[in-house]
Amino acid sequence: MNGYQRIRAALAGQQADSIPVMLHNFMMAASEYGVTMEQYRNNPAVIAASFIQSVEKYGYDGILVDIDTVTLAGATGVPVDFPVNEPARSHLGCLPSLDEVHRLKPVRLENYRYVQVWLESVRLLKEYFKNEIFIRGNCDQASFSLASMIRGSQNWMLDLMVAEENLVSDLLEYATDVTCQFIRLMAQTGADMVSNGDSVSGPDMISPDMYVKYALPYEKKIINVAHSLGQPYALHICGNTESILADMLLSGADAVELDYKTDAVKARDLLNQKTTFIGNIDPSGVLALGSPEEVKKRTLALLGVFSGINRFILNAGCALPSTTPPENIMMMIRVARNKEAYQN
């Protein structure tokens, strides 16, 4: 089987010839290619070349194409900083008061430069790898997290407690439209899968009840759009998601990408082979800062948890730091390729 076939098998609940690996490694890929994040984010050919070199070096199965977490925010008018050596970031929203939500300008996402770069990089990768390597086109933020960026995180948390419900809903609908535009555009690139992050909706920030009320309904809308376009969908939420995993299943996501803080055994039991698990080795404490032996130990433990489970894709729990040692990634993948090491 090739990488594309392994990932497809995991999403379908079918057995692959080895554990499929899809890394969230855009910062590491850029660093190893010898470019700054400024050079990376501005040139789709550089993005594609970074991932091509990374696949050739490590031999993993799927590429998660990512640039930053503020592209959609920037498209809506949120002020964005563009550091030379780090992904773009935002600190302030662009909506001073939720009462002004109807003054937000309609977004034509295809006209935003960084969306164009993102889409073209996915198209180039799909053109290069065809059906040899699986291409996951990440589509930045889902509705709740994007709404938080538009308002500013502190303002958004307060809005949820005191603002009029219709205004909260109006901002979430606005954010949903923007995210769905990205999903539709990404589907046109030939990507094999789409995804979003919605980390601000996790238990580290809001209660499970608030997740069900303010995040889940809009995630469902986004996922319905992806499915209408024939696209499998992955949802990523940071933090310990045990208290909302059953609700995340109701979103209709084909896969959930979970943080290392989520107990893998509990996740396995809750998901019950209904949705594919992606993750969840600690990207910083283990993969970036641990020894190869520690990586081997943690990888073996995780693969032991999912032994006999077809709906599993090995990854870090979140984005790998640019300083992650190559030998640690090689060790993780070597273990994944050695069935006898982790099967009971």
pLDDT tens column, 127-154: 999 999 999 999 999 999 999 999 999 9
Residues 6+ apart with CB under 8 A from 289: none
pLDDT of residue 344: 46
- Domains with residue ranges and CATH for the chain: 3-342 (3.20.20.210)
pLDDT of 341:
61
Taking only the tens place, the pLDDT of each residue in 226-258 is 999 999 999 999 999 999 999 999 999 999 999
Residue whose tokens read 């084909």: 254
Closest C-alpha to 241, from 193, 218, 290, 275: 275
The pLDDT of residue 340 is: 62
Strand partners, 196: 235
| Token pair belonging to 175 | 């954010």
What distance in Å separates the CA atoms of residue 225 and residue 299, rounded to the nearest whole number?
Answer: 35
- Residue 95's pLDDT is what? 97
309 within 8 A of 255, measured Cβ to Cβ:
no
The DSSP secondary structure of 235-294, one letter per residue, reads EEE-S--GGGHHHHHTTT-SEEEE-TTS-HHHHHHHHTTSSEEEEEE-IIIIIITS-HHH
* Residue 135, helix vs strand vs coil: strand
* pLDDT, position 343: 56
Enumerate residue ranges in the chain where pLDDT < 50.
Answer: 344
**How many of the other CB atoms lie within 10 Å of CB of 173?**
14
* CA dist., res. 188 & res. 116, Å (int): 12
CA distances from 282 to 73, 191, 265 (A): 27, 27, 15
Q: What pLDDT shows up at residue 48?
A: 98
Whole-prediction pTM: 0.96
Separation of alpha carbons 44 and 39, rounded Å: 10
